[in-house]
């Protein structure tokens, strides 16, 4: 008999499917702001969820102030049935069974930001926007939502990164810094408005790995590999791969190829002590703040992914979005014997 | 309470360590061929394993025919104590507790090829060759091997790909085809000696994903991402990431960026029906064979990895080899206020 | 007054236009082989040139053996008026005023190969093939050819590379080797059918510049920068730029970026003395031959370009072909406020 | 006889050499600021030029205020012999025969900025800084400067780009805008501090070529191809090639490869009318200014290059700097039969 038998467990992506413990009752609907074209679909969806499906429907409180909705007579019967919440004030934890987004990747990024721990399954309709994270078309939404409510669908668990900024001079971490910010695409450290190259030190599990001299550094999830990272030259990673991607932005070094590291590592990023200027950090393109010499950014993978409902399945959805959004390997076919 | 709580399990790479069920007794030693400089280290190692450590030591039968060894008087006392085997004839399964390689990546690729199922842990000394897969230095080998025998070491489980060629006209799969070939780096489908571009169809889980028009296609493990794939432009993936990398070779399409897919998918590669010429497939750079129209190549991740013993740990070993072998991000530092 | 006044002459690409010394009388027509769809256009063009324009029309002798033409009744009246020549036998120098190609880049490459010194202006119709070198559409060919005959057109002078293979053991250069081969796209030195990496030494003006370890090396004209070189990662160079491009194929080194050198340098390429295997050289994808240790390949820019007639002008033609053939920067536009 | 004989003139880079019309009498010496290590070499050089070579030596007026120099007793005898000028106030045209720079690429960029028309030949000592534009070592400066004064040296004519910002609402161009700014490396249009992607329209000779969606766009000289452009993925172009390089910065499109266009074209860059935000333009990393919707930037190649004196020759100097500054194709050699 073998002394040590080394066998790996390999997960079939097709095995990740949505399973409800009990029939879902409450739904949060998020719509794109400042886009007139989603007003009518939004009302249609709310009406159907409330009056046909008898569900408890949540929307953001500020939605009710939308002038486009206020003046819409179809919205009146819906308005009174809605539950509302305010971001940063009301706690949604354990109140929402699933989420519907109307309007492109921005709405899903917003949904992600609302849930800093476990996230309910999200069904995202792209509504004509670029749909990397939003695979569903709105036509015949009733049939599609019904399928989801019945649990007949595939899921992609999109991992998120927990980012914590540790300030040099803070004796104790304040609560918000401690819990950190979750990003679905990427955290970027760059030179911001400075004309000088960044000098950024990268550590993995406490070890100094390399120094980035260039415009900056992107730490992204596999989901984010097709966002800013791909523009900076990264390979594209399917969102189900448990990994963290590190991509330099315009590095001064010819040999600084992007790298992909295991999901379980801790990254630390600091402005080099001998850097000429500070750096700037932003989270999914938002909340930009300065990172001074001595400050550091810690990044780990969160155990709370965004469960993103597939229109078809994990593989088809991803390759469809590569073709649709990035024209991946779209080419004119060469004729035979040309 | 939440209807569905989505939480991911994230493995810490530092948690993968070697654990012996019982003290290891048998060891297979593989040495680089046609390299005089490894002869003396080889004899020193064998002597020490046999006479100091009282282990059962296996070598390949053909090694005994090596003229350099035959004429070496130090080898005589060792020779009689050795167990031998012949590749393709003797079954090593369950006989070997661990493996020591002397001489660079080639020896580890060879060790991998000997074990088509479970592989014993491998300790590889680079002996001055390029050492992506061989992190150990031979100086003070006694202390290092003793540490391994005592189980005080980190492991990297290097995944392998099972590759099966299915011929168009074979009614039934012959046994060898059926079990397939395992590769540790990559399987390559290219135009071989043909001057024409390849036209290769790629399928994932049965779906046609894209067509490659170019010099060919590399399907690699994360270990192989730093071999041929990196030369073809791929990002570099740590060997612990459970994923399969697909990299085109000189694609005619500007937008054909490499992709990384989950470990659990099945890939199928076929010469396009309208291709002008056939293609050629090779496995870890060996066993090149023609792939005709109608033939197909199936690739899945094997459950049998190569357990590769770390000199330090998973993270340090990998970044050291990136710097050493690929000069990754090695650059002259810009002076301040230059 | 200045001691030395340094001023450069900068040529406006729009200034390169076709000017006839005397009205053109003779035309060589080249058609794509093995393509039924060009038969009728071919006959239509010949008839018009002979009976309407009263020109002397040359075709290759082998064309008359084409079964498709023999059986075509429209071809009979044309046949008797044609002048013919045999490649490698009849000298076309000074006999041809201009050239018309029917059928894609291959026909222009062929036209180039017929004229090893000065080349008459070439008008190339793409006939539905990929048209990097063939910008004209055949519909309304009469108006377009008439414009060319009247000299109302822009020209792109496409530089060619003169390639001379010098064998190690040849006491004196034979005549053919001495004059060399002219390529319009590129000369490639690669590992051919060998599984080993190439080791190729590159010299410029007699100085050893670098050693290529990888699949091979492409030396291309700016015209060729959009052919094999672009697949290997090169930037794209407008054909009017006087330069030579050197692009490695899958180099083992991360930092081996393609380079562009001045038109006036001499390149020499040799298999490294310590290479494990020989290399193979091919010229515009043809005439593959082995390059052994000690042999060398010399490459210089020829003073005889291919004068390629523009459909619009140098700039528009090139960017149209980038978009059409390579989908250069074709992308879905992001919506506002998405 | 041929109707039209098409022959190209190909310039040998080795033919560009420095020739003095009369012995050079006046020299401008520029030193790196804020670097103590160049103080003593600066004084040594000035003394030697004044007392040994009897030349008229110019320095910037502000240099005399340098505290390091004021307190240096060796500087006193030199000080009184110096001619001074003030940037933007005194006209140097026709007063300077050649220029000596002490201290890296920055000093040569500064020298370039002082001469908006014809530039005297420049000899640049790198003084330990990154020396792409500064090939000379200071040890034995006397022999090297003497060689230059005698005219025994090769020259590289480094082309510059004339950049003119045209404001939407300016009825007439003011004088400074009209003459424009000359850059030696590159002009960059990017998103500046804005978090949004740029949308930039690119025109060549008045034709709309493409729209850049990404971090920005670099228009560079061949000299600049090894500066910011190479970090953004461009191929490297020898400074003698008459061409303009256009390189996108992190483009959203996978297929947006850098391009190289002939020296004679006019480029125009505008913020797209439907862009979400304005853009920022900077010239050789300086003078950053906002580019609003409707403003445009015109770029053409100047007829006034920077004549840069070679330490060896055009080819050797360039490849030495590629190896030294960018580690171009530096790699560990693979051993035979590894």
Provide the ipTM. Answer: 0.93
Give me the phi and psi of A145, to 5 degrees please. Answer: -65, -40
Closest to D193 (Cβ–Cβ): which among A193, A215, A231?
A193
C327–B253 C-beta distance less than 8 A: yes
Q: What is the mean pLDDT of residues B311-330?
A: 90
> Which residues in chain B are contacts of A333 at CB distance < 8 A?
211, 213
d(CA D228, CA C16): 32
Q: What is the mean pLDDT of residues B94-111?
A: 93
CB A155 within 8 A of CB A18: yes
pLDDT of B5 reads 76
pLDDT of A332 reads 47
CB D248 within 8 A of CB D212: yes
Nearest partner of A305 among A242, A262, A261, A260, judged by Cα:
A242
Bridge partners, residue C155, by sequence: C309
What is the DSSP-derived secondary structure letter of residue B132? S
What CATH number was assigned to the domain covering residues B23-159+306-326? 3.40.50.10330
D210–C319 C-beta distance less than 8 A: yes
Q: Tell me how close the Cα of D250 comes to any Cα of chain B, in angstroms.
A: 14
Nearest CA in chain B to C288: B195
d(CA D230, CA C260): 13
pLDDT of D209 reads 94
B285–C195 C-beta distance less than 8 A: yes
Please state whether A205 falls in left (phi above 0), alpha (psi between -120 and 50) or beta: left
d(CA D322, CA D325): 6
pLDDT of B171 reads 58
Q: B124-153 in b/e burial notation, b at 16+ Cβ within 10 A?
A: bbbbbbbbbbbbbebeebeebbeebbeeeb
Tokens representing residue D134 in the block = 């500064």
pLDDT of A325 reads 87
CB A66 within 8 A of CB A32: no
Nearest CA in chain C to A327: C331
Catalytic residue among A97, A105, A201, A284: A105
pLDDT of D336 reads 40
> Which residues in chain C are contacts of D15 at CB distance < 8 A?
264
Q: Tell me how close the Cα of C74 comes to any Cα of chain B, in angstroms.
A: 32
- How are the residues of chain B apportioned to helix, strand and coil, as percentages rounded to the nearest 5? 25, 30, 45
pLDDT of A257 reads 94
Closest to A330 (Cβ–Cβ): which among C254, C257, C327?
C327
CB A123 within 8 A of CB A145: yes
d(CA A216, CA A193): 12
Taking 50 as the pLDDT cut, the residues of chain D under it are 175, 332-338
> Which residues in chain D are contacts of C28 at CB distance < 8 A?
none
Say how many CB pairs under 8 Å bridge A and B: 261
d(CA C255, CA B332): 13
Task: Write the pLDDT tens digit of every residue in B206-258.
Answer: 999 999 999 999 999 999 999 999 999 999 999 999 999 999 999 989 999 99
Residue B197 confidence (pLDDT) above 80:
no
Please calculate the CA angle C222-B249-C321 and round it to the nearest 5 degrees: 35
d(CA D168, CA B295): 63
Nearest CA in chain B to C229: B250
d(CA B302, CA B251): 28
Nearest partner of A260 among B266, B159, B320, B240, judged by Cα:
B240
Element (H, E) at C145: helix C141-150
Catalytic residue among C66, C97, C105, C295: C105
Neighbours of C51 (CB within 10 A): 12
What CATH number was assigned to the domain covering residues B161-301? 2.60.200.30
Q: Which residue has the higher pLDDT, B255 or A330?
A: B255
Please calculate the CA angle A284-A287-A290 and round it to the nearest 5 degrees: 115
Closest to A241 (Cβ–Cβ): which among B2, B6, B260?
B260
D240–C262 C-beta distance less than 8 A: yes
Please state whether D260 falls in left (phi above 0), alpha (psi between -120 and 50) or beta: beta
D254–A327 C-beta distance less than 8 A: yes
Nearest CA in chain B to A321: B209
Confidence of residue B89 (pLDDT cuts 50, 70, 90): confident
Could you write out the DSSP letters of every residue in D18-52? ---SS---EEEEEE-SS-GGGHHHHHHHHHIIIII
Taking 50 as the pLDDT cut, the residues of chain C under it are 175, 332-338
- Pairing state between β B243-251 and B207-220: antiparallel
Architecture of domain D25-159+305-326: 3-Layer(aba) Sandwich (3.40)
> Which residues in chain A are contacts of B242 at CB distance < 8 A?
8, 10-11, 241-242
> Which residues in chain C are contacts of D10 at CB distance < 8 A?
242, 263-264, 301, 303
> Which residues in chain D are contacts of B332 at CB distance < 8 A?
130, 324-325, 327
Handedness of CA C44, C50, C54, C55 (dihedral sign): positive
A215–D215 C-beta distance less than 8 A: yes
Question: Where does chain D have alpha helices with state H?
Answer: 39-47, 67-70, 76-79, 105-114, 141-150, 175-179, 228-231, 314-326
Task: Write the pLDDT tens digit of every residue in C82-108.
Answer: 999 888 787 887 899 999 999 988 999
Tokens representing residue A95 in the block = 């109140």
Residues, chain D: 338
Domain with CATH 2.60.200.30 in chain C: 161-301
Least reliable range by pLDDT among A172-186, A237-251, B60-74, C12-26: A172-186
Q: Tell me how close the Cα of A132 comes to any Cα of chain C, in angstroms.
A: 12
> Which residues in chain B are contacts of D253 at CB distance < 8 A?
255
CB C29 within 8 A of CB C58: yes
d(CA A226, CA A233): 10
Q: Which residue has the tokens 């399409």?
A: B253
C282–B195 C-beta distance less than 8 A: yes
- The matching CATH number, chosen from 3.40.630.30, 3.30.450.80, 3.40.50.10330, 3.40.50.720, for A25-159+306-326 is 3.40.50.10330
Residue A177 confidence (pLDDT) above 90:
no
Nearest CA in chain B to C235: B254
Give me the phi and psi of B241, to 5 degrees please. Answer: -75, 125
Give me the phi and psi of A136, to 5 degrees please. Answer: -90, 140
CB B239 within 8 A of CB B259: no
Torsion angle of C-alpha atoms A259, A262, A263, A267, degrees rounded to 10: -60
pLDDT of C128 reads 84
What is the DSSP-derived secondary structure letter of residue B176? H
Say how many CB pairs under 8 Å bridge A and C: 43
Residue of C215, C231, C284, C290 best to disrupt the B interface, most CBs of B under 10 A: C231
Residue of D229, D231, D281, D289 best to disrupt the A interface, most CBs of A under 10 A: D231
Tokens representing residue C59 in the block = 């075709």
Q: Which residue has the tokens 């082309």?
A: D159
Say how many CB pairs under 8 Å bridge A and D: 46
What is the DSSP-derived secondary structure letter of residue B41? H
Tokens representing residue B163 in the block = 């590759």
pLDDT of A179 reads 72
**Could you write out the three-class secondary structure of chain A?**
CCCCCCCCCCCCHHHCECCCCCCCCEEEEEECCCCHHHHHHHHHHHHHHHHHCCCEEEEEHHHHHCHHHHCCHHHHHHHCCCEEECCCCCCCCCCCCEEEEECCHHHHHHHHHHCCCCCCCEEEECCCCCCCCCCECCCCHHHHHHHHHHCCCEEEEECCEEEEEECCCCCCCCHHHHHCEEECCEEEEECCCCCCCEEEEEEECCEEEEEEEEEEEEEECCHHHHCHHHHCCCCEECCCCCEEEEEEEEECCCCCCCEEEECCCCEEEEECCCCCCCEEEEECCEEEEEECCCCEEEEEECCCCEEEECCCCHHHHHHHHHHHHHCCCCCCCCCCCC
Domain with CATH 3.40.50.10330 in chain A: 25-159+306-326
Confidence of residue A331 (pLDDT cuts 50, 70, 90): low
pLDDT of D175 reads 47
Q: Tell me how close the Cα of D116 comes to any Cα of chain C, in angstroms.
A: 12
Closest to D328 (Cβ–Cβ): which among A233, A254, A286?
A254
pLDDT of B276 reads 80
Tokens representing residue C189 in the block = 């030195």
Tokens representing residue D26 in the block = 């006046």
Nearest CA in chain A to B19: A4
Nearest CA in chain B to A306: B6
D335–B325 C-beta distance less than 8 A: no
């Amino acid at each position: 008999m073998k002394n040590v038998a080394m066998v790996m467990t390999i997960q079939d992506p097709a095995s990740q499917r949505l399973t409800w413990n009990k029939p879902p009752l409450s739904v949060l609907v998020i719509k794109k702001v400042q886009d007139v074209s989603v007003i009518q679909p939004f009302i249609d969806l709310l009406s159907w969820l409330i009056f046909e499906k008898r569900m408890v429907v949540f929307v953001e409180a500020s939605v009710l102030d939308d002038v486009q909705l206020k003046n819409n007579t179809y919205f009146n019967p819906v308005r009174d049935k809605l539950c509302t919440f305010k971001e940063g004030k009301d706690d949604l934890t354990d109140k929402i069974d699933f989420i519907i987004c109307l309007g492109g990747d921005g709405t899903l990024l917003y949904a992600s930001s609302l849930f800093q721990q476990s996230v309910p399954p999200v069904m995202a309709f792209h509504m004509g926007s670029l749909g990397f994270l939003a695979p569903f078309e709105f036509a015949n939404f009733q049939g599609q939502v019904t399928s989801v409510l019945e649990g007949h669908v595939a899921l992609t668990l999109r991992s998120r990164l927990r980012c914590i900024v540790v300030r040099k001079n803070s004796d104790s971490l304040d609560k918000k810094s401690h819990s950190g910010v979750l990003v679905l695409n990427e955290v970027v450290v760059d030179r911001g408005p400075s004309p000088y190259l960044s000098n950024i030190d990268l550590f993995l599990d406490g070890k100094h790995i390399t120094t980035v001299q260039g415009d900056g550094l992107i730490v992204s999830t596999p989901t984010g590999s097709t966002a800013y990272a791909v523009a900076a030259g990264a390979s594209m990673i399917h969102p189900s791969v448990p990994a963290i991607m590190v991509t330099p932005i315009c590095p001064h070094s010819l040999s600084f190829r992007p790298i992909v590291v295991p999901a379980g590592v801790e990254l630390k990023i600091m402005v080099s002590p001998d850097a000429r200027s500070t750096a700037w950090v932003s989270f999914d393109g938002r909340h930009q703040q300065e990172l001074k010499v001595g400050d550091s950014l810690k990044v780990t993978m969160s155990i709370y992914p965004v469960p993103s409902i597939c229109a078809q399945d994990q593989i088809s959805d991803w390759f469809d979005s590569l073709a649709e959004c990035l024209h991946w390997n779209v080419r004119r076919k060469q004729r035979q014997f040309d």
